[in-house]
Amino acid sequence: MDKRKKNGNLYTILYAAAMVIIVAVVLAFVSQILKPRQDTNIRQETRRTILRSVHLEGQSYEKYIKDTAAGPEHLPLFICTLDDGTRKYIIPMEGKGLWGSINGYLALNDDFRTVYGAVFDHEAETPGLGAEISTPFFSDPFRGKSLYRGEEFVSLAVVKPGKSAGNPNAVDGISGGTLTSRGVENMIRESLEPYIPFLKHYE
C-alpha cells in the first residue's frame, strides 16, 4: 500500500475517532447542564397533572396537595384538602397500552369507594384512537363511578362504547382503541389493589 494512502487512512480514522469523542463529551456536558431544568419541568408537569385529577388545574399545588405514603409498603399517595375541608386521595397509576406505557392519577372521595376525578396519559398510543385516553371526553365519565360492588372491591371496567350506561362500576372505552382501553382497565385494577388494605386508615 502506498505510504501516503496508508497515512491518509490513519488520519481519517483518528480524525473520526476524535470527533466522536468530542461530540460525546459535548453532549454529556450539555445533558448535565440541562438536567436540573428538565427535572424541574417534569416536576411541574407532574404537579399540574395531579391538580387536574382533582379539578384544580391552575391552582397552587402547595396549598392543596400533601405528598405522603400509604401503609408499610410506603406506596406513594397524594392527599388533597379542598377549601371546604374535604379530602381527596390521589393514587398514581402506571400500565401498558397498545404501543407503550400509559399512566395517570385517580382521585378518590374520602369514602375510598367513589372516584372524584381521573386523568390519563400515554407514551405512544395511536392518534385519534387509543391516544384519546388523554382527553376529558374519556376521563370525565370516571367521576362518580364506584370501585365497589356492595363490600367487594371490583375496580372499574372499561367497556365497549355505549355499554356502561347504568353500570356504576364501568365507563365507556375508546371506539377503535380496544387494546388501549383494556390497558387502562388493567392499569387501574393493578395500581389500586395494593392500596385497598391501607386507605381506610386515613382520617
pLDDT tens digit string along 79-132?
999 999 999 999 999 999 999 999 999 999 999 999 999 999 999 999 999 999
CA dist list (Å): 13 to 4, 10, 25: 14, 5, 18
Residues 148-201: pLDDT tens digits? 999 999 999 999 999 999 999 999 999 999 999 999 999 999 999 999 988 877
Task: Tell me: do 165 and 67 sit in the same domain.
Answer: yes
Task: Tell me: do 127 and 195 sit in the same domain.
Answer: yes
Q: Which residue segment(s) compose the domain that 80 sits in?
A: 56-199
Number of domains in the chain: 2
What pTM does this model have?
0.82
Does residue 10 belong to any structural domain of this protein? Answer: yes
Does residue 176 belong to any structural domain of this protein? Answer: yes
Task: Tell me: do 76 and 7 sit in the same domain.
Answer: no
